[in-house]
Amino acid sequence: MLFHRCPAAGRARQCFHALKLIKKDCLQSLRVSRCASTAAVPRITTHYTIHPRDKDKRWEGVNMERFAEEADVVVVGAGPAGLSAAIRLKQLAAEHSKEVRVCLVEKASQIGAHTLSGACVEPRALEELFPDWKERGAPLKTPVTEDKFGILTETSRIPVPILPGLPMVNHGNYIVRLGHLVSWLGEQAEALGVEIYPGYAAAEVLFHEDGSVKGIATNDVGIQKDGAPKATFERGLELHAKVTVFAEGCHGHLAKQLYKRYNLRENCQPQSYGIGLKELWTIDKTKWKPGRVEHTVGWPLDRHTYGGSFLYHLNEPEPLVALGFVVGLDYQNPYLNPFREFQRWKHHPSVQPTLEGGTRIAYGARALNEGGIQSIPKLTFPGGLLIGCSPGLLNVPKIKGTHTAMKSGMLASEAIFSRLTNENLQSKTIGLDVQEYEENLKKSWVWKELYAVRNIRPSCHTVLGVYGGMIYTGIFYWILRGMEPWTLKHPGPDYAQLKPAKDCTPIEYPKPDGKISFDLLSSVALSGTNHEDDQPPHLTLKDDSVPVSRNLAVFDGPEQRFCPAGVYEYVPLETGEGSRLQINAQNCVHCKTCDIKDPSQNINWVVPEGGGGPAYNGM
């Protein structure tokens, strides 16, 4: 049975509009936060997820009632997966003359503003979703015309042939600015009747008494940095649905809660991740080769540190290139700094000439899943399901996940629609458990593709490191196409791979020259990142004492190096004895690296007030 539009819909939109006005009044320019304390362990975390409001006298008498509204399906996250799911649902509803209400919430202030990827896209899923995507004006302007791969040493580049059938082949693919593609998908979704609410972060999962997912609640607004309510405090909104689709992207903070509640990771390996850093440059037109795709492995990383680079030439009105560097977050040396490795890479003799005389115009970073099929959790549970990069559907050796994410969203919607319109539906729980989605995904080309490449990433864990992975790919994948009768395993969670500082050699990085390489804070400024200053830091600590007592003492404070935005900083105590951790939450680009790589697993990333974060333009 379908939900119909209720008279309260207008009131809900008024609430969303009111929250927008409050948020607009509160926004301030980016600046570094400073907090001081004379306590033995300075208080850092003030967020209600760590310090409950029902035990805080400042919240006595505050109205905590939330307005609630019903939908058929709620989608969390407006990336390629979430938007494809919403679009497919409305397509099916139109084809069958059914009324299905689909609401989508997105934490970015604009659709696409938090999207970051290389990106070289395989259009297979897009063609299935919109066979007429070219006529509709989808922003895929740069077909791949040249494909290059190489191994870097400190002074040279060794070309590696890309044999037909290898996952790195990009013939038929398109270089895109993924944020622009996501924005276009948002326009298509709205035209079909999807209700999209940008600037509203899903902060909480709601549950029925029978344990099934009831929906989500958006974040509260109007809370001071110290955790007290402001005069402008407003409770978030509840959105209830028969099915809630979680499409948060890599390492979603709600998905983490669902893994634990429903034990979704019981039968899979720990997820493995990478951190991807990216810049956009305008370059000398004589060096511009629209359609050229270049990838490298090797220098400046050693063979035991997984990673590599990309350099894509875009066909835009101006001579634009997208370049980036990925470092596997299972690295061992706590002195490694992914941002500075990226800056150092740009000075390689095969890279620097392309950038000389050019101008850097954008910067950003995002974590990505690298675990492959071994690390995919159970995808369905009563009242909800996981799609896209949230469960980890990235094809790692292809360095592509947009097509698999989109297809997962489409398959999810087809299964959901079938359940919603089943007149003989009998459900054990109020929230529907759409198990057919996972069954259909495992029958699709997505699963076949991920299964075939399942051993490539873990093959890099041998004594030969990354080069062992290349040998494995050349022998076993190229010949057997993933049909080998074994499945390799990952060594364990990424955070557990970090070695104590005393067992590692500090890494000396060259100073940036301000022309090719740059410092961190000027880079963050190019991301457009902004958060309301007077709100509790959304980088929460389970125990405020752990950063100094363990992370700094044992690992020399790795968070000050693995964060690509300068959020974490160890500063001297006011007494002059010892240090304290300072969290510059306004700098956060929402990459989730800290939540993943923290060796103490003490950092818990939660959503800030909706609309905060980076403001990427076609990243």
Task: Report the pLDDT averaged over residues 189-207.
Answer: 97
Could you confirm whether 402 is annotated as catalytic? yes
* Options 142, 473, 588, 593, the catalytic residue: 588
The least confident of 90-104, 227-241, 564-578 is: 564-578
State mean pLDDT over 510-535. 97
Active site residue 49: no
Q: Is 366 a catalytic residue?
A: yes
- Quick one: average pLDDT of 120-148? 97
Active site residue 504: no
Q: Please give the residue that has the higher pLDDT: either 331 or 25.
A: 331
Give the pLDDT confidence score for residue 37 in this predicted structure.
36
Which residue(s) pair with 361 in the sheet?
A: none
Q: In this predicted model, what pLDDT tens digit does every residue of 548-577 receive, in sequence order?
A: 999 999 999 999 999 999 999 999 998 888
For the sheet containing 142-143, what is the strand order?
A: 120-121, 174-175, 142-143
Query: CB of 46 within 8 A of CB of 537?
Result: yes
User: CA-to-CA distance for 549 and 361, rounded, in angstroms?
Assistant: 40
Burial class (CB in 10 A: 0-12, 13-18, 19+), 53: middle
Neighbouring CB atoms inside 10 A of 156's CB total 13
The reported pLDDT for the residue numbered 470 is 83
Residue 601 Cα to chain centre, angstroms: 18
pLDDT at 31: 30
Q: Over range 104-113, report the average pLDDT.
A: 97
Residue 92 banded pLDDT, cuts 50, 70, 90: very high
pLDDT band for 262, please (50, 70, 90 cuts). Answer: very high
214 residue type, one letter: K
Q: Which of 145, 150, 149 is nearest to 171 (CA)?
A: 145
pLDDT at 180: 98
**Confidence band (pLDDT; 50, 70, 90) for 504?**
very high
Annotated catalytic residue, options 402, 459, 529, 540: 402
Residue with token string 């994410």:
405
The more confidently predicted of residues 159 and 483 is 159
Average pLDDT, the chain: 92
Specify whether the CB–CB gap between 412 and 385 falls below 8 A. yes
Task: Provide the pairing of β-strand 359-369 with 320-328.
Answer: unpaired
Catalytic residue among 26, 103, 389, 594: 594
CA distance 349 to 257: 46
Token representation of residue 10: 């207008």
Which of 45, 84, 109, 117 is flagged as catalytic?
117
Local confidence band at 40 (pLDDT 50, 70, 90 cut-offs): low
Catalytic member of 157, 265, 360, 366: 366
Per annotation, catalytic residue among 473, 563, 580, 593: 563
Helix (H) or strand (E) holding 129: helix 124-129
The residue among 569 and 466 whose pLDDT is bigger is 569
Q: What is the pLDDT of residues 298-354, one digit of tens each?
A: 999 999 999 999 999 999 999 999 999 999 999 999 999 999 999 999 999 999 999
Residues 6+ apart with CB under 8 A from 199: 20, 23, 106, 107, 108, 109, 610, 611
Among 167-171, 291-295, 442-446, name the one with the lowest average pLDDT. Answer: 167-171
The predicted-structure confidence for 372-400, as pLDDT tens digits, reads as follows 999 999 999 999 999 999 999 999 999 99
- 117 tagged catalytic: yes
Helices (H), 481-616: 520-525, 546, 553-555, 559-562, 593-597
Average pLDDT over residues 32-41: 42
Helix (H, G, I), strand (E, B) or coil at 125: helix
**Is residue 594 a contact partner of residue 582, using CB atoms and an 8 Å limit?**
no
Tell me if 345 sits within 8 A of 354, measured CB to CB: no
Burial (CB < 10 A; 0-12, 13-18, 19+), residue 439, is middle
The two tokens of residue 598 are: 């923290």
**Cα distances (angstroms) measured from residue 285 to each of 99, 291, 318, 320, 347:** 52, 14, 8, 9, 20
- Strand 146-152, strand 292-298: pairing: parallel
